[in-house]
């Protein structure tokens, strides 16, 4: 969708239609008011001569525009590009969202991507209209807004938690971006401030349609006792973050997800929110996906019946890769049992459990150094699991927001005992590749048989080519059909 910003007429037409599907994909800036809005803003669209379009909120802010107080463009869903693009710009955007610039600076971000600061600035300015500093500033401003509106913490603490170097810089940025002081913003907020230390409650916006029930069902059948819990329409788990531990509760609502976070350190707020959004695939463009797959003769009926299905991501790439290895030759039930044993034996107990969520998933370093006899005692295949854990620990394999997927999956497949299904599953959920396809999956065969399709390798290979570039979404449609 990035080309749409260069097509003024398309952007203007979509803005006139107030289609929420394009919220976050581009932003409207009005030169007469110096405000920028999301495409679905209910305000009257300005005349053509007073309008321009930007690919990111940071680009609009860098050009001197302030966020509209009516449509809150800074809170719109993100562009789906930044979840699945495997190039360096996509990886850079994901790393900025994960807080890399705040923790390591622009030089740290450039080092992760393998090129110079100057080249990084030029690349991002050309692609998204803003420098790494401007993108990080926009994220800090949004994090600050969440803390001001959702907590009772002092503004000095909020400034530090959001990544600002001083209260003066915090005040100036809030005023510059939102045309409000922090005090005015808190006064205008219609949310009750949480009085519990470390708790933030916010709403994660998404594009409709959103099949939350199917998403929760997917997570529920794979939820590991002690690590995750799905009950009462809410998903709960603990997160390992840069500055401490977080516990999250995610409850789908109308056009959004209610997110309650209990954090050891508020500096992890932006990263925790980004990971929750990737877990639930909230930045997807479901209408574009349904439009492409809904015409297919085999799965078109499934897609038209459930157009809002998402491909669940993950909150921790190392965890997902290790769990994929545990489940590569096991049923869902067996994989859950084995993973629960691993978590109970090697996982870190939470100081404050949340119901049945009692542990963190064990780190790769802990598993790499564990006694091999302990794996045998748990009935686990040690070799591929410990080899992968060792390579995740020393950085030979990286499954995170800034990794090169091709390089990571190539190294993953080089580990003895790890096959193509595991690599495809990691690509699908760890790297959010919309075209990943776990060939040979037993569930896919059963679903295709139920639809009356031949399941020999040649027929399946021919069939899946029709679903490009959305094969991962086709997979979720077929898996979901087994539940219905």
Q: Taking residues 451-471, report their average pLDDT.
A: 92
Q: Taking residues 345-355, report their average pLDDT.
A: 92
* Distance between CA atoms of residues 415 and 392, nearest Å: 12
Higher-pLDDT residue of 126 and 477 is 477
Q: Taking residues 242-267, report their average pLDDT.
A: 93
Contact present, 113 and 91 (Cβ < 8 Å) = yes
Q: What is the pLDDT of residue 229?
A: 97
Contact present, 73 and 178 (Cβ < 8 Å) = no
Asked whether the predicted pLDDT for residue 2 surpasses 50, the reply is: no
Q: What is the pLDDT of residue 1?
A: 40
Task: Count Cβ atoms below 10 Å from residue 347 Cβ, excluding itself.
Answer: 21
Asked whether the predicted pLDDT for residue 182 surpasses 90, the reply is: yes
Q: Taking residues 414-422, report their average pLDDT.
A: 93
Asked whether the predicted pLDDT for residue 192 surpasses 70, the reply is: no
Asked whether the predicted pLDDT for residue 410 surpasses 90, the reply is: yes
Q: How far apart are the first and last CA of the chain?
A: 33
Contact present, 66 and 58 (Cβ < 8 Å) = no
Q: Taking residues 405-430, report their average pLDDT.
A: 94
- The dihedrals phi and psi of 466, each to the nearest 5 degrees, come to -75, -15
* Distance between CA atoms of residues 137 and 469, nearest Å: 33
Q: What is the pLDDT of residue 5?
A: 62
Residues labelled catalytic: 37, 441
- Tens digits of residue pLDDT in 160-179: 889 898 999 999 999 999 99
- Tens digits of residue pLDDT in 120-146: 999 898 888 899 999 999 999 999 998
Secondary structure letter of residue 16 according to DSSP: H
Task: Count Cβ atoms below 10 Å from residue 10 Cβ, excluding itself.
Answer: 15
**∠186-187-193 over CA atoms, to 5°?**
55
Tokens of 52: 């321009």
Q: Taking residues 175-201, report their average pLDDT.
A: 79
Q: What is the pLDDT of residue 325?
A: 93
- Tens digits of residue pLDDT in 278-298: 999 999 989 889 999 999 999
Higher-pLDDT residue of 391 and 72 is 391
Q: Taking residues 319-346, report their average pLDDT.
A: 92
* Distance between CA atoms of residues 476 and 312, nearest Å: 9
Say whether pTM exceeds 0.75: yes
- Tens digits of residue pLDDT in 211-222: 999 999 999 999
* Distance between CA atoms of residues 299 and 322, nearest Å: 31
Contact present, 310 and 285 (Cβ < 8 Å) = no
As a whole number, the mean pLDDT across the chain is: 90
Q: Taking residues 147-165, report their average pLDDT.
A: 88
Q: What is the pLDDT of residue 194?
A: 52
Q: What is the pLDDT of residue 301?
A: 95
Contact present, 54 and 36 (Cβ < 8 Å) = yes
12-26, 166-180, 241-255, 334-348: lowest mean pLDDT where?
Answer: 12-26
Asked whether the predicted pLDDT for residue 255 surpasses 70, the reply is: yes
Q: What is the pLDDT of residue 387?
A: 93
Asked whether the predicted pLDDT for residue 82 surpasses 80, the reply is: no
As a dihedral over the C-alpha atoms of residue 458, residue 462, residue 467, residue 468, rounded to 10 degrees, the angle is 100
């Amino acid at each position: 969708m990035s080309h749409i910003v260069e097509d003024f007429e398309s952007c203007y037409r979509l803005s006139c239609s107030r289609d929420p599907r394009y919220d976050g994909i581009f932003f409207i800036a009005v030169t007469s008011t110096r405000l920028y809005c999301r495409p679905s803003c209910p305000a009257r669209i300005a005349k053509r001569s007073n309008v321009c379009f930007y690919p990111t909120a940071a680009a609009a802010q860098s050009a001197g525009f302030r966020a509209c107080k009516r449509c809150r463009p800074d809170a719109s869903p993100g562009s789906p590009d930044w979840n699945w693009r495997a190039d360096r710009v996509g990886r850079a955007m994901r790393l900025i969202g994960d807080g890399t610039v705040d923790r390591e600076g622009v030089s740290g971000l450039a080092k992760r991507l393998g090129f110079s600061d100057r080249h990084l600035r030029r690349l991002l300015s050309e692609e998204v209209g803003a420098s790494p500093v401007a993108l990080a500033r926009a994220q800090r401003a949004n994090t600050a807004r969440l803390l001001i509106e959702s907590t009772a913490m002092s503004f000095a603490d909020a400034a530090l938690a959001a990544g600002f170097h001083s209260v003066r810089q915090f005040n100036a940025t809030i005023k510059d971006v939102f045309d409000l002081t922090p005090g005015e913003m808190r006064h205008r907020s219609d949310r009750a401030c949480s009085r519990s230390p470390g708790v933030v409650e916010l709403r994660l916006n998404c594009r409709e349609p959103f099949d939350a029930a199917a998403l929760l069902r997917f997570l529920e059948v794979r939820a590991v006792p002690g690590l995750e819990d799905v009950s009462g329409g809410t998903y709960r788990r603990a997160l390992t973050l840069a500055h401490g531990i977080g516990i999250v509760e995610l409850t789908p609502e109308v056009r959004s997800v209610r997110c309650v976070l209990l954090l050891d350190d508020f500096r992890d707020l932006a990263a925790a929110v980004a990971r929750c959004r990737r877990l639930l695939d909230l930045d997807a463009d479901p209408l574009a996906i349904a439009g492409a797959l809904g015409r297919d003769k085999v799965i078109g009926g499934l897609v038209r019946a459930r157009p809002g299905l998402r491909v669940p991501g993950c909150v921790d790439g190392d965890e997902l890769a290790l769990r994929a290895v545990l489940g590569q030759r096991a049923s869902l039930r067996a994989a859950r049992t084995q993973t629960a044993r691993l978590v109970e034996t090697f996982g870190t107990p939470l100081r404050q459990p949340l119901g049945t969520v009692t542990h963190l998933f064990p780190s790769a370093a802990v598993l790499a150094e564990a006694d091999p006899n302990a794996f045998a005692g748990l009935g686990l295949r040690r070799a591929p699991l410990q080899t992968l854990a060792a390579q995740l620990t020393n950085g030979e394999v990286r499954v995170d927001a800034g990794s090169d997927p091709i390089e990571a999956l190539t190294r993953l497949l080089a580990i003895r005992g790890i096959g193509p299904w595991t690599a495809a599953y990691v690509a699908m959920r760890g790297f959010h590749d919309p075209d990943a396809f776990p060939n040979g999956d037993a569930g896919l065969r059963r679903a295709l048989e139920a639809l009356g399709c031949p399941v020999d390798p040649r027929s399946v290979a021919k069939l899946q080519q029709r679903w490009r570039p959305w094969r991962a979404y086709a997979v979720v449609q077929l898996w979901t059909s087994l539940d219905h």
